[in-house]
Amino acid sequence: MKIIAIAAVTAGGKTTTVNEIKKRLSNVQTLHFDDYAFEGEVDNFYQWVLDGADYNVWKLEPLEKDILKVKNSGICDYLILDYPFAYCHEQIRKYIDAAFFIDTPLDIALARRILRDMGNASGKDIRNDLMGYLKYARIAYVQMLKDILPSSDYVIDGTMSTEYIAEEIINIIIK
């Protein structure tokens, strides 16, 4: 069994790509980082970056347990992780056979996040969110580009269609 990690910034296309790969490949299981609550989760990403951006502050035991459960079950050929850290977290890196980074420009990711998460928000709420992004959150997105992107085995152009991105990843992993 191969374990494949798909990383990107928030709203960079991880979940959409993982779901598309699952539709196209048979004998695949998926785990999604956002389905878990982890001890040590970061609330203040701005301060986290200023403190050195230690990805290991997240205690990923629940995810690790599920990875081992799928791995030991022998029920699939591929386990696809919707997982933002690639090889940057010590606890999970040892399980990953290949890490992909979807390199989505920050303006596209920001637009997607607003459309996804703020569909019913007022203009004032959206402006406040954008101010927070510029003042506090953008630094964490940039940090991912510094750390996660170069630690990945493959970088895929995040401006391409989901179908194209999924096909590129599938072509690499089935070799």
Average pLDDT over residues 121-148: 96
Tens-place pLDDT, residues 42-72 = 999 999 999 999 999 999 999 999 999 999 9
134 pLDDT band (50/70/90 cuts)?
very high
Dihedral, CA of residue 73, residue 77, residue 81 and residue 87, to nearest 10: 100
**Residue 92, pLDDT above cutoff 90:** yes
pTM (whole model) above 0.85: yes
Average pLDDT over residues 133-145: 95
pLDDT recorded at residue 175: 81
